[in-house]
Copies of this chain bind each other. A is one copy, B any other.
């Protein structure tokens, strides 16, 4: 039984990574809506993913509003794929 990357083994962070695996980029507001999370929780979990090097979060502007755009990194993609492989061992897939 392989280790499950604790950074990915969290509902919210996994949801974020799952979205970013399939969507070239996604902003904070979109991730918040899709994951149905609170802003605070999302902010904290995004930070952890950024710190792990799994995603990037770039703050910019659209008109006068701030906008944080997230993208998955190559490292993040790899970690996600390894996590899926590890999980399969548990789920019998």
> Taking beta carbons and an 8 Å cutoff, which residues of A are in contact with B?
1, 3-4, 6, 9, 11, 14-15, 18, 21-22, 34-36, 84, 87, 89-93
Task: List chain B residues, Cβ under 8 A from A6.
Answer: 11
Contacting residue for A18 out of B21, B34, B90, CB 8 A: B90
Quickly give the copy total for this chain. Answer: 2
Contacting residue for A14 out of B21, B22, B90, CB 8 A: B90
Task: List chain B residues, Cβ under 8 A from A92.
Answer: 18, 21-22, 84
Task: List chain B residues, Cβ under 8 A from A93.
Answer: 84, 93
Task: List chain B residues, Cβ under 8 A from A4.
Answer: 11
A1 touching B15 in the complex, CB below 8 Å, given contacts A84-B91, A91-B84: yes
